Amino acid sequence: MFQPVPPDSLFARLRAAAGRTWSAYVEHPFVAQLGAGTLPEAAFRRYLVQDYRFLIHFGRAYALAVYKSDTLADMRAAAAGMRAILDDEMDLHVEFCRGWGLTPADLEAAPEDGPTLAYTRYVLETGLRGDVLDLHTALAPCIVGYAEIGAALAEEGTAMHAGHPYRAWVGMYAGDDYQAVARDHVTLLDRLWHTRAGDGRFEALSRIFGEATRLEADFWQMGLDAA
């Protein structure tokens, strides 16, 4: 389950600064309906298709993190993240989509919707114009936010009942493997903050985090708009 983020961590400070923008993301009607099992299947299918497109750019973001890293250890860590997305997570997503009647051809043929374009290009542009801390800050609402959402829905309980249509999705993000990924990202942000930043940089990082969070909420809304 999701462990409370240390209150003095960079992530905790960024989340607090985001305020209602963060709440609008993690408590979005898409999330609430998903947890209750009332989310229309059309909304979830649209989300799955666009999430496939998003994962492709997520892999590119980790490739960019390799280039932006200063140390061999950080380069290897980013490369491992890229390989995990391209070699494992993409395949798992494709198989998950099959269960919802979506073929690999469906996923490949689907155009990127506006919110997908907006968020993925924002992440990549942020990384290109900034440094690796900027890039990982832009990725944090997705990586850590999904862990928080998954754990909250699992703890509430309804989504873990047998027969719940979205039980597998919630279980994936509430599970130990993904929760560890989120904790590692919180730790990475703190390490980069201590080696690359100071309080004078917090305002700029907060803007990045807030914008990425807003774009994540738009991603949920894109799914609802398909219903």
Active site residue ranges: 142, 216
Q: In whole angstroms, what is the distance from residue 44 CA to residue 41 CA? A: 5
Separation of first and last alpha carbons in the chain:
30
Burial class (CB in 10 A: 0-12, 13-18, 19+), 61: buried
Q: In whole angstroms, what is the distance from residue 65 CA to residue 4 CA? A: 26
163: left (phi over 0), alpha (psi -120 to 50) or beta: left
* CA 86 remoteness from chain centre: 16
